[in-house]
């Protein structure tokens, strides 16, 4: 009984103090309805599971002050302050490789061609915590299609900005900078995969990956690369930053899977950010609850091997 | 004039009070919900930090004695050891009661999958008999065996440092610092031991 009241008061306070959330509530409601409608399109086959609808949005304060952004710091609170000097305007993205229209594109021009919508996703970190974030973004696939990938484009490789003068974490060799992530072409083209430019009805804060980041909701958070400066189409699987640093611990696919433990910890449960200290962890779901939409991408693959 | 005996008493009381300050501050931060997005983990980690700090401080007293050739540092050894045990107990308690919500299923599922948690549990298990036998009564009763038993603290400290190092994702600089301090503290004892033997 007591616990229940506690959660309610938390939610209430988050709504009152959080101006941007409050202001964008109407937008939320509208876009949530749009999203649900969108997900029921025949192209996606099935409706959302219960676990990925009715998501309780994490307080903005938590989502913006608990970030893994090793380019700035290995401390999740410190990146908020340290990322402030990063200039995100102007910003250009190099698009190259197996496509018909390679080149250096101004981010503003890319954004003009893509309608921004809100997507509320659960975000599950490989460190066994999760949050629910209302992202603003557009489907990656729609954007990629415009650059006309050739038949040899089998993978997409993303690269984060390399600028050690501002990204001071890049001075220490904990990862092989710049950060590189990648997706198989079908994963990149999947309608759930988005490039985000904002969250909570506002622009992305620097520490959350401004001005442009990937969000792949059925994969562990480290796949969702921040501050993207390069998108490269290639025929072979790219070697990604965490895989290079610890190949036995982090694979290319990194699909959320409660049955496949990290070599050093269990993945079967996750701590929901912002929950009270007496709230138990929630059970982690296969593909982070997006299995109905994405499981078919991995038919015939051994998920315990292709981590 | 305060007698030297009373001075020691006052200093001991002060040490206990100072040693409990971090716990009180953590309690206050917890009650005021100032521990951020992941309060259980923050609380759990900070308690672990303090356990390790007091363990190393306790292990620093003999080296201080060796270097200063004064006996007084050893008077505070028990308090520092018990403070380490106090924080280690809270660290374990927060993990079991809050992080795992006291669920046996969660314990059985999560602990065996985590080599670093097993190592942490080993470290804590080694500390338990030391805390229990820390009284004058057991010191007298166990006599020489007391010193043998209490040399377990070296293994507890080593496994605590390894436990910390193993859980970190990439940046092991802080656990390396603790491990480095421990190695220095233990080397002073070893050097002293051989020097005394040669004399």
Prediction ipTM score: 0.88
In a domain, A307, yes or no: no
Cβ-defined contact of A280 to B101 (cutoff 8 Å): yes
What share of chain A in percent tops pLDDT 90? 80
Span A226-236, pLDDT tens digits: 999 999 999 99
**Residue holding tokens 């993207």?**
A228
Is A306 inside a domain boundary?
no
* Per-residue pLDDT band at A46 (split at 50, 70, 90): very low
Establish if A179 belongs to a structural domain: yes
**How far is B40 from chain A, CA to nearest CA, in Å?**
6
Is residue B146 within 8 A of residue B133, CB to CB? The reply is yes
Q: What was the pLDDT predicted at A306? A: 86
From A131, A264, A266, residue closest to B166, measured CB to CB: A264
What's the number of CA atoms in the CB half-sphere (13 Å) around residue B94? 21
pLDDT of residue A41 exceeding 90: no
Mean pLDDT of the A30-48 span: 41
Residues in chain A with CB shorter than 8 Å from the CB of B39 are 277
The pairing of beta strand A228-234 with beta strand A92-97:
parallel
Contact A15, A22 (CB under 8 A): yes
| Distance between CA atoms of residues B199 and B193, nearest Å | 10
Q: Does residue A158 fall inside a structural domain?
A: yes
How much is the average pLDDT of A13-20?
A: 38
Sign of the CA dihedral A296, A298, A300, A305?
Answer: negative
The reply to whether A221 touches chain B by the CB within 8 Å rule is no
- What domain count does chain A have? 1
Angle ∠(B17,B19,B20) on CA atoms, nearest 5: 70
Closest CA to A63 of A252, A204, A242, A257: A204
- What is the DSSP secondary-structure string of A107-153? HHHHHHTS--EEEEEEEE-TTSEEEEEEEEEEEHHHHHHHT-B-TT-
What pLDDT score was predicted for residue A49?
52
User: How high is the pLDDT of residue A50?
Assistant: 54
pTM of the prediction? 0.86
Give the closest of B98, B110, B167 to A277, CB-based: B98
Dmax (CA) of chain B: 61
Interface test with B, best of A12, A277, A278, A280 (most B CBs within 10 A): A277
Residue-by-residue DSSP string for A40-90: TSGGG-SPPPGGGSS--PPPHHHHTSS--BTTTBSSTTHHHHHTTT---SS
**Is position A303 within any domain?**
no
Contact A169, A240 (CB under 8 A): no
**Contact present, A264 and A98 (Cβ < 8 Å):** no
Mean pLDDT by 10 residues, chain B (199 residues): 84 96 97 95 97 97 93 93 98 97 94 95 97 94 92 96 92 93 95 86
Whether A242 has a pLDDT exceeding 80, the answer reads yes
Nearest-CA neighbor of A35 among A123, A113, A137?
A: A137
Of A270, A294, A107, A100, nearest in space to A183 by CA: A294
Domain containing residue A95 = 2-298
Q: Is B167's Cβ below 8 Å from some Cβ in A?
A: yes
């Amino acid at each position: 009984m007591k616990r229940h009241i506690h959660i309610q008061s938390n939610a209430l306070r988050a709504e009152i103090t959080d101006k941007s959330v409050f202001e964008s509530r109407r937008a939320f409601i509208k876009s949530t309805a749009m999203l649900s409608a969108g997900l029921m399109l025949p192209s996606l086959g099935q409706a959302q599971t219960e676990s990925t609808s009715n998501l309780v949005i994490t307080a903005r304060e938590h989502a913006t002050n608990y970030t893994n952004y090793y380019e700035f710091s290995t401390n999740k609170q410190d990146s908020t302050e340290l990322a402030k000097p990063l200039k995100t305007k102007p910003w250009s993205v190099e698009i190259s490789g197996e496509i018909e229209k390679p080149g250096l594109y101004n981010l503003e021009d890319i954004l003009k061609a893509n309608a921004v919508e809100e997507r509320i996703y659960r975000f599950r970190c490989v460190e066994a915590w999760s949050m629910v974030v209302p992202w603003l973004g557009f489907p990656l696939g729609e954007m990629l299609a415009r650059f006309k990938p050739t038949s040899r484009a089998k993978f997409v490789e993303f690269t984060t900005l390399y600028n050690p003068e501002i990204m001071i974490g890049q001075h220490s060799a904990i990862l092989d900078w710049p950060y590189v992530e990648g997706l198989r072409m079908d994963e990149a083209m999947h309608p759930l995969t988005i490039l985000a430019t904002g969250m909570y009805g506002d622009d992305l804060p620097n520490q959350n990956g401004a001005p442009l980041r990937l969000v792949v909701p059925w994969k562990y958070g480290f796949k969702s690369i921040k501050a993207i400066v390069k998108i490269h189409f290639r025929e072979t699987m790219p070697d990604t930053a965490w895989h290079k640093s610890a190949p036995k611990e982090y694979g290319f696919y990194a699909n959320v899977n409660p049955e496949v433990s990290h070599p050093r910890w269990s993945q079967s449960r996750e701590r929901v950010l912002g929950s009270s200290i007496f709230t138990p962890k929630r059970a982690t779901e296969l593909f982070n609850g997006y299995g109905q939409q994405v499981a078919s991408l991995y038919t015939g693959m051994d998920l315990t091997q292709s981590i | 004039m305060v007698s030297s005996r009373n001075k020691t008493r006052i200093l001991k009381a002060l040490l206990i009070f100072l040693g409990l300050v971090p716990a009180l501050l953590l309690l206050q931060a917890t009650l005021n919900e100032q521990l951020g997005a992941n309060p259980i983990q923050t609380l759990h980690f900070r308690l672990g930090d303090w356990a390790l700090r007091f363990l190393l401080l306790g292990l620093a007293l003999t080296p201080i004695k060796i270097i200063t050739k004064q006996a007084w540092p050893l008077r505070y050894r028990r308090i520092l050891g018990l403070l380490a045990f106090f924080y280690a107990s809270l660290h374990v308690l927060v993990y079991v009661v809050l992080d795992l919500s006291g669920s046996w299923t969660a314990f059985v599922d999560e602990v065996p999958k985590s080599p670093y948690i097993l190592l942490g549990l080993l470290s804590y298990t080694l500390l338990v008999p030391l805390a229990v036998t820390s009284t004058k009564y057991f010191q007298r009763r166990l006599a020489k065996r007391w010193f043998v038993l209490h040399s377990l603290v070296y293994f507890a400290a080593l496994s605590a440092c390894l436990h910390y190092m193993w859980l970190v994702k990439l940046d092991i600089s802080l656990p390396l610092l603790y491990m480095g301090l421990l190695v220095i503290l233990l080397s002073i004892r070893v050097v002293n031991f051989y020097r005394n033997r040669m004399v």
